[in-house]
Structure 1
Amino acid sequence: MGLSTGVAAMIGALFGGGRNVVRETAELFMENTEAGAEREAAWRAAALGQFAGEFVQPRKGAFDRFIDGLNRLPRPALALGTLGLFVAAMVDPVWFAARMQGIQLVPEPLWWLMGAIVSFYFGARHQLKGQEFQRSLVETMGRTGTVVRNIGALQALDAGTRAFDDPNPALEDWRGDGR
């Protein structure tokens, strides 16, 4: 009786009270893979949540949409205005020449100011488009390894199917390979 009571007390000390001392001791030296997977999943979910938060587009009001529309006007206006100048020069050359004489009266500092404004506007757009291009290039390069592995697997499959092809004498004769 005493021995069984002592063993029961020892088992109760090791595994009683909702604890498992053996498992807890082993986890000091080796990670619990299930708990590690749960931590990894939580970490990935938090990272994805943070990334998703960076790309959330806030709902824009009427004023923001109006300003966005205005920001889209300069390039088409400049292109259409330039074409309009060509048309005006062909339709009424005297009227066009009079207007060009008026442009010669614009002071040089005003030309510098207009050049700076146009340069900043188009320069900023050029920089933005260049960064988007570089970002897409990095994404493409990131997929290169997968594409190379896929091509290798497809070539291995193709080589495997060709290895099992038996020579077909009728086909070789038709091709003119008749040996």
Structure 2
Amino acid sequence: MGMIATLAELMFGSGRNVVRETVEAFRASAEGADDREARMQQAALEQFAAEFAQPRPSRFDRVVDGLNRLPRPALALGTVGLFIAAMVDPDWFGSRMRGLAEVPEPLWWLLGAIISFYFGARHQAKGQEFQRAIARTFVRAQPVQSGPNPALRDWRGGQ
């Protein structure tokens, strides 16, 4: 019985766990890997938030942003208006459409390019603003557990 106790003391005594230490030499600890991943994600979010942190926009910026919101509803309502005009006064509508048919094709390509770039730039700007908002939210969010867990400490003390 003394030899087994000596072997157990050698393997698990003096606050060490030789089996665990040996296994961790060949396979990373899942708890340690999770801890490293959490720290890496937190650092990445902090860097992301610092990169996209911007002060609150000025009144001018808000007015310009409001004006930038007008073209899409104007295009949608204008299209509905064309349908209504076609039903109310087909002759008036027909004369306007004949006038549009006389517009040269390169001018239509130019109009398409301008509209595409406008909406593409708007989409990109809004996407970046959304990313900044997410980064600010993550920076302001407190970690779920900061410091030692008092309930766990009390439980271990009772063991």
Q: Return the TM-score normalized by structure 1.
A: 0.41
Q: Return the TM-score normalized by structure 2.
A: 0.45
Q: Which has the larger radius of gyration?
A: 1
Bigger relative contact order, structure 1 or 2, given CA contacts below 8 A and separation 6+? 2
